[in-house]
Structures are given as C-alpha cells and as structure tokens.
Structure 1
Amino acid sequence: MKQAILILHGMGEQIPMQTLNSFVESVWTADDTLIDPEKPDPNTGGARAGNVSWAKPDERNSSSELRRITTERDSAGNYTDFYEYYWAHLMQGTTWEHIQTWIKDLLLRDPRSRVPRRVFHAWVLLWIIALVVVAMMLWGLWPTVEAPKPWFVWVSALLGVVISAFVSAVLIKRFGDVARYVKAWPPNVAKRHVIRKTGVDLLDQLIMSGDYDRIVVVAHSLGTIIAYDIITMLFAKYNKLLDDGKPREMLQPERHQLEEMVRLAMAGQEPLDIDTFQDQQSKAFAEAKEQGARWIVSDFVTLGAPLTHAEFLIAESKEDLRARQESRLLPTCPPVLEYDGTTKLSHFTYAAYKDRRPEERRLPHHAAVFGYTRWTNLYSDDKAILTGDLISGPLGDAFGLETTGNVLKGIRDIGVLPKLDETGHVAEGHRRSFFSHNNYWALDKGTETVIPNVPHHIVELRKALRILQ
C-alpha cells in the first residue's frame, strides 16, 4: 500500500519545509516500531540510526521551495509520502488596519451571549490591553505645564517600544493571519480564496493521481481551519461516490450500519462510543472505495486547533454556528441527517434510485465528509493563559451533531501536554507546560508514558496517523 500524509502549518512567518522536516523526524524517522531496527540502512548497508526517507522534487507542489519526502517500505509493506501545503507566502501584506478591524469585532461583543466561557478571561485581558494603550495615548496628548519627570519619559519610551514590538511581532505577523482568514470582510476575500483554492488543487491532484490508497490530512493551529475548509470544499466534488453505471442492486451494509448507529444515538437508545464509531467509519470508507469511490482521505488530524472557538472566531454566536452547520455550510461529525420519505429513516445519504431499501446504494450529501473521514483532535488543556494551549481545546461539542439537549461527538478528542485522565484532570505524573502551542510533535517536550523515551503526545500523534494500518 502507498499512502500520503499532507501537513498544513500554522500561523506566522513560517519557513518552507521547516514544519514538514520536524514532523517527519517525530512520526517517521524516530519511530523504531515502524521498521525492524536490525534491518540494514538502505543507504549505507550498515546499522541504522533511524528510519530512512528522501526528499524529492514533485510537480504537484506549487513552490520550488518544497519537496516531497518519501520513505522506505515499513514493516507492514507500506510506502509513505509526506507533503506540506505551504500557504504563508499567500498571506503577506497584513497591516494594522486589518488587525484593528478584527480586534474591534472581538471586543465589541455581548459577553453574556457571544463570548464563550473558555475564552472569557482572555477576552477580559484583551480589553485591559486595549484600555492601557488608549490611556497612554490620551496621557501623551494631555497638556501639562511642567516638564515630565525623566523617569516618566524613560518609562513611556520603553512602553512604547514594547507595544510597538508586540503589535509588529505578535499581532501583525502571527494573529494577523487569523484576522485575515477567519472573517470574510472585503479586504480578506481574495486572500481566503487563493489559500483555499491552492490547497484544494493540491489535495485534488494527490487524489486524482491514483498513486495512493489513502491520504491523511494533518494540520496545526490556523492550518486546522484552512484544512477543514479544503477538505469540506473538495468533498463537495467527490460526494457522488459512485457513478450511474454501477449496478442498481449494489448493497452498502457498512454505510447502513454507520447511519443506524447515529440514528440510535440521536434517539437516545444507545450512546455513541467513539471507538465503535471510528471503526465503523473505517468500514464504510473501505466499502465505498471497493464500490468505486474516489474519496481517499481516511483521516483528519488536528493539533492545537482554534476550531474549538468556532462560535467566537468563525461565527457570530453559538446559535449562528449551529445554524451554519444545520444548513450544511459547516460539516459536522457525525454528519447532519435528513429524513427520507421512502425509507422512513434519517440518513446522511440520499437514494441513488427511487424506492430503494436503506441498505442499498445511496450517495452521501455534500456535507457528509465525516461519515467517511475519521477526525482526531489533539489539544493541550490550558490554565491561567500562560500554561497549556489556550488556542486549542476539544472539538466534539463545537462540531458534533446537535440533538435535543445533547451533542453527539464523533471526533476523538485527546488531551496532551499534559495527559488528561478520564475525569478531565491532569493525569498523575504529568504537569502543564508553559505555552505548549508549538510542541505537538516536539520529541523533547512532555512526559513519557508506556513507551520509554517517547512522550505521551508523540504516542497519541503516531496512533492518529495509523502509518502501519
């Protein structure tokens, strides 16, 4: 089998291949479970220092700065190609005007209904910073008779330098990417379009090449929002998984079982167990491929995803987020169901022919991507802003399927850096780390678990990728 792993970097002025090289080191080169350590190194014929890979030019990359990293065969007989979708160069030209419009939109919200509890303290801090800046500006304009004290001049100058550096290095160069991508204001529309289209084209080329049996999309930080958009936009092209030339009698028992699982959970008859759900997604994915499906994105893995704050960042409120999901603008996991008058059941698919039984051939609607693509989310629990990762969080509630008084969660949320126990508290022997947002594939961070010399978050990341499947 041959598989591809496509990674999308996060916000900021990223360097081409920097994210990809460090990611491959963690999930491929240093993983001694993928290849027998006694097997000779394919380059030297001697003892190996790690699993081997090579960087090759590839015309599917849109930049000559990028390379495809291809691996030797692993112990399951798989070859893996790693790609990076590099988009930072498409987000140049951010100015303070872009930032201040976004900040005003965040600040001027009703805290009772439009500021989620998890980010309320950060929202208050943003207000404090804004008020301090305004106060300093007004103080500087206030007429005085006496000359200011020398210490005051020095303190004011130092604060001015700090604020200027913060605006340039943090707000514009980092959060400027977020400000320009998440909101469809006229100055941002062109940037959003180019970033999405370029990503859609790359993923589409990987699928249409016929080179791969499966593709895994991995994304970090703001890249998770971009990847979510790319996957959902492209699936709308592939949702008609079978052409009309296929037999009318074609059965889809695995897809039928997956829909039945969601229906029972919605009715409150059986809980939606995440292990069972993802296993059934995998079976429905394999069944669709066997019947001619071209969609081969088996897994979506998000790291440090600001999607957890979707109601705050990409929607106007929680009610607005749910409205967009119900209208299928923003796909959920499990997918939104629709009632079929023929089967008298709810489905995330529609009948390919009229008057068919529910287990016979059906096609997924355009927002049913997470009926076939498993979603795993790694996040770092935060405390007091400075520890963990405030940007990240669980996604099951935000992108689950809402029912009466409940949300069906089809996303596997895993707390890492630190590891969380079943109650959601920090597991014994683990501790929070300072600003863990950039550490999701760092080999020298975190705490070991059952595998010596491998921190917990690396173990979970490797599990999510399923390279040996």
Structure 2
Amino acid sequence: MARKKQAVIVVHGMGEQRPMGTMRTIVDALWTTDRSIKLDDPQNRDEDGNKSWIVPDIKTGSHDLQRITTPAMQDGCRTDFFEFYYADILDNAKLKNLWRWLLRVIKVRPEYVLERMVWPWTALCFLVVLILWVFLSVLFLGVATQFDIDLWSEAAKQARLSVPGVSFLGALCLILMILVAARITSLRWLLRWPSYAVIGLVVYYLIFLTEDLTLRTLVVSFTILLSFATSLVFLPYLGDVAGYMGAHPDTVHGRHLVRDRGLQLLRRLHEDPAYERIVIVAHSLGSVVAYDILHLLWEELGPTNENPPGQKVRQALADHDHLVLELNKRYGAKPWSDADLKRYRDVQSRVADAIRAQGPVPRKDGRKSRSYWKITDFVTAGSPLSHAQFLLARGAHNFGKLKKERLFPTAPPQVFNDDFGVLYSNDPIDFVAEKPIPQTRTEWAVGAEHAFAHHGAVFSAVRWTNFYDKHHPFFFWQGDVLGGPLAGAGRFGQGICDRNVEMTYERFGSKSRFVTHTLYWTDTHPDPDKVSTNVRLMRDAVNLKGA
C-alpha cells in the first residue's frame, strides 16, 4: 500500500533571511542531491539531481512562501516542503532590543555560564563594556573641555606608565582572570565587575592620562569603528534573538505573532488528510521558536485532556513510561547508551504510530476534531537552546525547576508524580474482582476511561535529533559557538540524539572551520562523488525514505 504524503517544515534561523532561502538549500541537501532515493519514475531525475517543483500554496499565509513538492518515490510517498518564515515580524526595534539583551547578558551571574561558554561569553561582555566605557569617557571629556576642567593632574603626569605597558598589564590581568574563572567556578565573579573595572582603568588612562592627542583620537576612532562593525555583524542576527528571547512589554506582541503564524501553518497541515507525517527542521533561533510551538500545539492536538486518547494510545504511552522508569533506575543522571537510546526512540515512534492510527477523536467538549497529532521528528541544528540555563533561565537550579514545572518540555518528559509517568488519570481506582490487580497506577490508567498524557509530554511521541559543531575551547570562532549539545539530565533530557558534526570547508586554498553555524545542510566533502557526514546524518534524521 502506497504511503500518503509527508510534510517537512523548515524554520529558518536568525538574521535578515530571504523568503524560501533556507528552505531551498535544505531541499537541495535532503532531496535533490540524494541519489540513494528510489523514484517511482526514473525520468524525474536528471543531471541536476532529483526533480522538484515550486507550487503556489496558501497554507503558510503568505504568497511569498510557496511549497516545494517532489515526485513520488517507489513506495508512492511524496514530500512537500514548507517554510515557516518569521523574520519580517522581528524586524522592528532591533537596535533597542539588541542593546537591552546585551546589557542583560553582561549582568548574568558568571556561575550560571557553562564552562565551554566562558571564553565567548567573556569576549562578548568585554566588547560591550569597552564600547560603553569609551562612550562615557568621551562624553565626560567633552563636558570637561567645555567647562575647562583639568583632568590631567601633575602627580599623574609624573607617575605615568607607557601606553604599551598599560595595555600589556591590562590584557595580562584580564587573561589571568579568565583562566582562573574558567577552572574555578567559585571565582567566576572575577569575570564581572573586577574585569569591567580593569577595562575602565585602561580606557581612563588612554583617554585622560596621556597628552598624546593622536593616541586619544585613535582610541576613540577605533571604538567607533568597533561599534559600527558590531552593529553590522550583530544587529541583523542577534537583534532577532533579542526580539524573541527577551520577554519585555514591547516584544510580547511580536513573540505572539511569531508563534501564532507557526501554529496556523501546523494546524492547516494537521487538518489536511493528505499528510500522514510531519517533520520539523529548525536552525538556530528557529529551533527555539519551533520548540515553543511544539509545546503549545501538543496541548491542542496531542492525546492530552483536550483529546482523550483511546486504549491503544494509552497502552503505547504506558509502554513509554515503563521503559523510562527502567532506564532511569539503571542510569540515573548518567547518559544513556546508544542501544538504550535507540530503544527509547523506537518507543516514541510507536506512540506516534498509535496516535496516527487512532485518527481524530471526540474532544473533551464533545466536538469531533478534524485533526490529530502527526509530527514524528524534530531536527534542530546550531540551537541556542544549548545555553538555556543562562539565556532562558537564571542558572542550572532555576532551569531544573522550570523543567519540573513543564515550562520547558524534555525528552523523556517529566513524570506526572511518583505514581504516574506521562500517562495519568484522575479517576478513582476501582478494582474489579474478576480482573487482576494492576502492579502500578500506570497499568491501571491504560484501562481507565479518563486517562491521558500531560501537557508537557510532547517528546513522548516526537523524536528529537540535534546537530552541533563543537567549537574550539579558546578560539571559539572555530566551529559553531551558537549551538551545542542538548542531551543530558542537566539539559533537555537523555532521550535526545545529539550529533556532533565537525565541519571543515575549503577557504583560500586551505581547510577552515571558521564560523560553521550555517553549514549544517551544506555538503563540504571535497570529493563530489561522496557526501559529507553532516548531510548524510541529516538525511537519516529527517528520513524521507521511511527506512
């Protein structure tokens, strides 16, 4: 029997993205260049690869965002690619949001910062503090000049150090502070106000305690150029991050519009009976947006209290709970083995299959829903969620608390309580004499009339695969500093499949790993007849062939 169509939702990352720009490159990696795909009609492949067509479709809510559709594979399945585009919504007030977010970052308590992020976080903070110090110094110098205030005391002139000496001592102090703080968490406070004070003293000396007008002009000019370059580099990218991840009164409306647009697209796809499977592929900031939308949509369309599941779905959820209980007892907070991670992903697939086999169910209010949960896989690349404990929470303890409160869904999901896992029921236990007494409440819930999954259990049915390129611990621009691992008890759970793909590409005749954040779907293999590891693994994660 031929499979129905499947949909792949591409969620672009931060920056001034062009409509359909990210989607077309991902279609090229996942479909066009994949020669291993067996087509129903061989004529649908030419010298450019597997054919595809761009078709008008209003499901996205925009005429600029059309779908890309493919011909059928041998099993009859066709794939439609859609892009969830939100860059236009976050395009307002970027500079204001960026500086507010940067000021928040430099005030983060250093002990909240992950060890692998100490260097890049420190560099960003020092850059912002340097610009602020020079700005304030120039402003003060202008006021002093206007009112004829003497800022160059005779004592200071007599005790003056050389400019190279002051610069060297300042840089040495900062490097020593970073080295100590990176290794001793209890001394991370050195990276905050003491380091900012050192930068301030160096700036004060270079502007106020030197009589060399040329030097002061160079310092100020360099800072102005640095500020301008920072705006050119950071504003188009981090401006979006600040606009979405910073919850403030003037960003709430934009965040709502972004999520609502994504929900509308997913609702339309779930209501279309032509699609049996949906995959979300999200890059960078798009992974944060998609993560939020998955959480919201699960409460609406998943087997929750809003859509009470049937007995087969309850059994699949109970099997999920039993495996999670077994693995938690065996591993505790330690990482799962590859074999047990595969067992868990198989259980997730069975939950998703049971939901799709069940189809629409009567909702809690009695209405018959037209849609049901179809999302099977969530694929993220270069995700800032790796830094959630200081970008979204106030340290590891607060992050753990928010996960328990189900604000941040995990894989596996947080248990309901000590008795129930994902599947639970509020019905009173009423044992029937002729039936065996269940050993656990989860077993009893399988047969209960009003049992369902809790609202934070989206990853009981959705497999999460995360791609990242581990950056160099010191030269953090080598690799992807914005992404990182998501699996682990201290992150988003042991049930996530992390893929560390080390990407190298040719640059000026030599191999380079400079800023690989946008290369996850780019084939960087020097041999045109071979496929780079990152593309091969991404094809496996999205699994268009249904293998």
Q: Calculate the TM-score normalised by the size of structure 1.
A: 0.86
- Inter-CA distance 149–60: structure 2 relative to 1 (3 Å threshold): same
The answer for the alignment partner of 1:379 in structure 2 is 468
Of the candidates 287, 302, 310, which is equivalent to residue 388 of structure 2?
310
RMSD: 2.8
Hey, what's the Cα distance between the residues in 1 that align with 2:349 and 2:526?
A: 31
User: What amino acid is the match of 2:469?
Assistant: S
Structure 1 residues 187-216: Cα deviation after superposition (integer angstroms, max 9, x where no partner): 211111110111111111111122210000
- Inter-CA distance 190–359: structure 2 relative to 1 (3 Å threshold): same
Structure 1 residues 216-241: Cα deviation after superposition (integer angstroms, max 9, x where no partner): 01100000000000111111112336
1:417 Cα deviation from its structure 2 partner: 2.4
Hey, what's the Cα distance between the residues in 2 that align with 1:259 and 1:466?
A: 26
The answer for the alignment partner of 1:280 in structure 2 is 347
- Inter-CA distance 434–194: structure 2 relative to 1 (3 Å threshold): same
The answer for the alignment partner of 2:247 in structure 1 is 184
The answer for the alignment partner of 1:3 in structure 2 is 6
- Inter-CA distance 184–138: structure 2 relative to 1 (3 Å threshold): closer
The answer for the alignment partner of 1:258 in structure 2 is 320
The answer for the alignment partner of 2:422 in structure 1 is 348
Hey, what's the Cα distance between the residues in 1 that align with 2:43 and 2:518?
A: 34
Structure 1 residues 250-283: Cα deviation after superposition (integer angstroms, max 9, x where no partner): 5744332211010112223795621111011101
The answer for the alignment partner of 1:396 in structure 2 is 487
User: What amino acid is the match of 2:78?
Assistant: Y
- Inter-CA distance 133–246: structure 2 relative to 1 (3 Å threshold): closer
The answer for the alignment partner of 2:378 in structure 1 is 300
**Contact 2:300–2:306 (Cα < 8 Å) also in 1:** no
**Contact 1:308–1:398 (Cα < 8 Å) also in 2:** no
- Inter-CA distance 3–322: structure 2 relative to 1 (3 Å threshold): same
The answer for the alignment partner of 2:263 in structure 1 is 200
Of the candidates 447, 457, 468, which is equivalent to residue 360 of structure 1?
447
Q: What is the DSSP-based 3-state SS (H/G/I as helix, E as strand, rest coil) of the residue aligned with 1:219?
A: strand
The answer for the alignment partner of 2:520 in structure 1 is 440
**Contact 2:34–2:50 (Cα < 8 Å) also in 1:** yes
1:41 Cα deviation from its structure 2 partner: 3.2
Say yes or no: does 1:319 pair with 2:397: yes
Segments of 5+ residues of structure 2 without an aligned counterpart are: 146-150, 153-209, 361-371, 430-442, 505-510
The answer for the alignment partner of 2:134 in structure 1 is 136
Moved more, 352-361 or 65-74: 352-361
The answer for the alignment partner of 2:178 in structure 1 is none
- Inter-CA distance 308–338: structure 2 relative to 1 (3 Å threshold): same
Q: Among the aligned pairs, what percent are the same residue?
A: 30
Q: Calculate the TM-score normalised by the size of structure 2.
A: 0.74
Segments of 5+ residues of structure 1 without an aligned counterpart are: 402-407, 420-430
1:38 Cα deviation from its structure 2 partner: 8.7
Q: How many aligned residue pairs are there?
A: 438
Say yes or no: does 1:454 pair with 2:531: yes
User: What amino acid is the match of 2:227?
Assistant: I
Hey, what's the Cα distance between the residues in 1 that align with 2:309 and 2:284?
A: 41
Hey, what's the Cα distance between the residues in 2 that align with 1:446 and 1:416?
A: 13
1:165 Cα deviation from its structure 2 partner: 3.0
1:432 Cα deviation from its structure 2 partner: 6.9
User: What amino acid is the match of 2:343?
Assistant: T
Equivalent positions of 1:159-238 (< 5 A) are 159-167=223-231, 169-238=232-301
**Contact 1:262–1:334 (Cα < 8 Å) also in 2:** yes
Hey, what's the Cα distance between the residues in 1 that align with 2:445 and 2:304?
A: 17
User: What amino acid is the match of 2:422?
Assistant: F
**Contact 1:352–1:363 (Cα < 8 Å) also in 2:** no
Equivalent positions of 1:120-159 (< 5 A) are 120-140=118-138, 141-142=140-141, 143=145, 149-150=213-214, 153=217, 156-159=220-223
1:285 Cα deviation from its structure 2 partner: 1.1
Q: What is the DSSP-based 3-state SS (H/G/I as helix, E as strand, rest coil) of the residue aligned with 1:88?
A: coil
User: What amino acid is the match of 1:189?
Assistant: V
Q: What is the DSSP-based 3-state SS (H/G/I as helix, E as strand, rest coil) of the residue aligned with 1:216?
A: strand
**Contact 1:7–1:219 (Cα < 8 Å) also in 2:** yes
